[in-house]
């Protein structure tokens, strides 16, 4: 049935253009801070849509901002386009067929395309109606572990923004309940003294021993941290491949997560003490280097209600028989636990027989526990923010897997992408049309900050990594 809402008509008019943009990003996948081709595609489309464009914002060559309109409130629409390593997959095939290299295992080819689709539709709506206001598209790289939005917030790119809207591909539909973990990645490098491990071991001071003792200390600490906190680690440098040499240098990366920023700061202090203790026990020296940091999401009930109203009017994406058939093939590669986990994440009753989400989750559902992290969190501390989850894949599809990448150019992915653009555009339109609602959202945000002020989790000395364009 044809929509009668003009903002939705404006989104639909862009269908072919933004499907092509999503395809182009899918076919040139790039990981954090190397998204030159994807950023090129977004910049070109912004210029074609008549936006005022600035590339390389916040000192990040692969970040871009486009703006339309003027005066009135400034509404930001956030997009992403980074991929994940080793998830290249032949699209449209319900079996693992890796293509090598990175792939869009989190749907960010769709995320950025839908966000710009909504922003450009809003720009035309502002012009058609004569409504004063500014819509701004933020092309954000490096969400997957790179914390680009944290750098963008720290650089003041949101200081004049009144509200921000975003979305993420999902297997269910609903307003995100703004639950995520604040996190930081810190590299701990221990320096010891090399020696012959057989002839003179007493002369050596093992940096690898220090790393292993640090990990033991962190493992024992896990019993005594909040249930929703997490600490993960990876060896970046184990000191070499010769066991007959006492390792003089070794590095471990600790990924520390906590429910909120104050909790994260407390946990970092405890992990630092463990590192110092490991250095003391092994007579080595430890240096710390913060790699990245992101805040937990801060919710906004006013904006959540506005987005829920848009969802309720629009309903679920209009999936067809072909979409359901492909979804069933993907689900045949999953376990019942995968399918149940999708419902548990949004605190909904499990419907194991449903291939695609044909409903919108209610706003008053119980809050999820949340286990992941996102740099969208820092934007939510800078300005009032709301995020949608829109179905683009088979119910139960685990993200960061070949199954998600396989669905990245499917009919259901495109339908969900367009649906997300409509939800975001309608949400923004309400904020433009209802100054009192926008004022209430900003007042709620200010009240939350008054209780817990924002402290950027990224130290001032940490800069965005500059990675050259591939030859």
Q: Give domain status of residue 214, yes or no.
A: yes
Q: Give domain status of residue 464, yes or no.
A: no
Measured CA to CA, the distance from residue 185 to residue 187 in angstroms comes to 7
Instruction: Give the pLDDT score at 172.
Output: 94
Instruction: Give the pLDDT score at 91.
Output: 97
Same domain, 284 and 429: no
Same domain, 175 and 200: no
Same domain, 166 and 234: no
Same domain, 276 and 345: no
Instruction: Give the pLDDT score at 3.
Output: 42
Q: Give domain status of residue 340, yes or no.
A: yes
Same domain, 279 and 412: no
Residue 370 has pLDDT above 80, yes or no: no
Instruction: Give the pLDDT score at 445.
Output: 98
Q: Give domain status of residue 324, yes or no.
A: yes
In the three-class reduction of DSSP (H, G, I as helix; E, B as strand; rest coil), residue 265 is classed as: helix
For residues 105-121, average pLDDT: 98
CATH number at residue 270: 3.30.70.360
Maximum C-alpha span of the chain:
84
Instruction: Give the pLDDT score at 2.
Output: 40
Q: How many domains does the chain have?
A: 2
Q: Give domain status of residue 176, yes or no.
A: yes
Find all residues with CB under 8 Å of 367, minimum gap 6, and list them: 177, 179, 347
Same domain, 233 and 91: no
pLDDT digits (tens, 9 = 90+) for 26-62: 999 999 999 999 999 999 999 999 999 999 999 999 9
The percentage of residues in the chain with a pLDDT greater than 70, rounded to a whole number, is 98
Measured CA to CA, the distance from residue 120 to residue 127 in angstroms comes to 11
CATH number at residue 85: 3.40.630.10
Residue 348 and residue 172 in contact, taking contact as beta carbons nearer than 8 Å:
yes
Same domain, 34 and 157: yes
Same domain, 420 and 445: yes
For residues 71-100, average pLDDT: 97
Q: Environment class of residue 331 by beta-carbon count within 10 Å: exposed (0-12), middle (13-18) or buried (19+)?
A: buried
Residue 389: give the domain boundaries.
6-180+297-451
**186 beta partners:** 254, 290
Residue 1 has pLDDT above 60, yes or no: no
For residues 225-254, average pLDDT: 97
Find all residues with CB under 8 Å of 224, minimum gap 6, and list them: none
Q: Considering only residues 4 and 187, tell me which one the structure prediction assigns the higher pLDDT.
A: 187
Find all residues with CB under 8 Å of 281, minimum gap 6, and list them: 210, 213
Q: Give domain status of residue 467, yes or no.
A: no
Q: Give domain status of residue 67, yes or no.
A: yes
The percentage of residues in the chain with a pLDDT greater than 90, rounded to a whole number, is 92
Residue 388 and residue 398 in contact, taking contact as beta carbons nearer than 8 Å:
no
Q: What share of the chain is helix, strand, coil (3-state, %, to 5)?
A: 40, 20, 40
Instruction: Give the pLDDT score at 109.
Output: 98
Running DSSP on this structure, what letter comes out for residue 76?
E
Measured CA to CA, the distance from residue 375 to residue 150 in angstroms comes to 6
Instruction: Give the pLDDT score at 145.
Output: 87
Residue ending a domain, among 294, 323, 350, is: 294
Measured CA to CA, the distance from residue 277 to residue 221 in angstroms comes to 13
pLDDT digits (tens, 9 = 90+) for 412-446: 999 999 999 999 999 999 999 999 999 999 999 99
Same domain, 50 and 86: yes
Same domain, 67 and 174: yes
Residue ending a domain, among 279, 294, 309, is: 294
Q: Please name the residue ranges forming H helices in 383-410.
A: 402-406
For residues 176-196, average pLDDT: 96
Measured CA to CA, the distance from residue 298 to residue 182 in angstroms comes to 11
For residues 8-30, average pLDDT: 97
Instruction: Give the pLDDT score at 4.
Output: 56
Residue ending a domain, among 294, 327, 356, is: 294
Measured CA to CA, the distance from residue 328 to residue 326 in angstroms comes to 5
Same domain, 203 and 147: no
Look at the chain and count its residues.
471
Residue 314 has pLDDT above 80, yes or no: yes
Measured CA to CA, the distance from residue 21 to residue 40 in angstroms comes to 11
Measured CA to CA, the distance from residue 311 to residue 308 in angstroms comes to 5
Instruction: Give the pLDDT score at 291.
Output: 92
Q: Give domain status of residue 239, yes or no.
A: yes
Same domain, 303 and 441: yes
For residues 325-333, average pLDDT: 97
Q: Average per-residue pLDDT in the chain?
A: 95
């Amino acid at each position: 049935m044809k929509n009668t809402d003009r903002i939705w008509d404006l989104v639909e008019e862009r269908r072919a253009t933004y499907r092509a943009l999503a395809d182009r990003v899918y076919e040139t996948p790039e990981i954090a801070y190397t998204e030159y081709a994807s950023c090129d595609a977004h910049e070109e489309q912004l210029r074609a849509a008549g936006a005022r464009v600035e590339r390389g914002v916040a000192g990040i060559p692969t970040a871009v901002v486009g703006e339309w309109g003027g005066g009135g409130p400034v509404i930001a629409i956030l997009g992403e386009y980074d991929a994940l390593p080793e998830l290249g997959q032949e699209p449209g095939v319900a079996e693992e067929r890796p293509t090598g290299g990175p792939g869009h295992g989190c749907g960010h080819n769709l995320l950025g395309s839908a966000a710009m689709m909504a922003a450009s539709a809003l720009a035309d709506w502002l012009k058609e109606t004569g409504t004063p206001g500014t819509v701004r598209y933020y092309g954000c790289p490096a969400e997957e572990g790179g914390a680009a939005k944290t750098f963008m917030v720290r650089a003041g790119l949101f200081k004049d923004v009144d509200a921000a809207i975003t979305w993420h591909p999902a297997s269910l539909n609903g307003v995100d309940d703004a639950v995520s973990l604040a996190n930081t990645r810190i590299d701990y490098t221990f320096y010891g003294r090399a020696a012959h491990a057989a002839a003179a071991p007493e002369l050596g001071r093992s940096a690898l021993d220090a790393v292993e003792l640090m990990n033991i200390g962190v493992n024992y600490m896990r019993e005594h941290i909040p249930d929703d906190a997490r600490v993960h680690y990876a060896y970046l440098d184990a000191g070499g491949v010769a066991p007959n040499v006492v390792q003089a240098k070794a590095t471990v990366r600790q990924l520390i997560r906590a429910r909120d920023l104050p909790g994260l700061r407390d946990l970092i202090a405890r992990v630092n003490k463990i590192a110092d203790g490991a250095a003391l026990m092994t007579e080595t020296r430890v240096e710390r280097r913060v790699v990245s940091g992101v805040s937990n999401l801060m919710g906004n009930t006013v904006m959540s209600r506005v987005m829920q109203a848009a969802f309720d009017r629009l309903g679920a994406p209009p999936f067809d028989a072909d979409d359901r058939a492909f979804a069933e093939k993907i689900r045949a590669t999953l376990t019942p636990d995968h399918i149940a986990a999708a419902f548990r994440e949004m605190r909904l009753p499990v419907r194991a027989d449903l291939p695609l989400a044909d409903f919108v989750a209610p706003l008053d559902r119980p809050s999820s526990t949340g286990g992941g992290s996102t740099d969208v969190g820092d934007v939510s501390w800078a300005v009032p923010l709301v995020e949608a989850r829109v179905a683009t894949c088979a119910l139960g599809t685990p993200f960061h897997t070949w199954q998600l990448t396989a669905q990245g150019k499917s009919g259901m992915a495109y339908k969900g992408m367009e649906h997300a653009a409509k939800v975001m555009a309608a949400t923004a339109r309400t904020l433009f049309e209802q100054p009192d609602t926008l004022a209430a959202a900003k007042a709620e945000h200010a009240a939350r900050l008054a209780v817990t002020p924002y402290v950027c989790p990224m130290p001032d000395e940490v800069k965005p990594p500059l990675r050259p364009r591939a030859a």
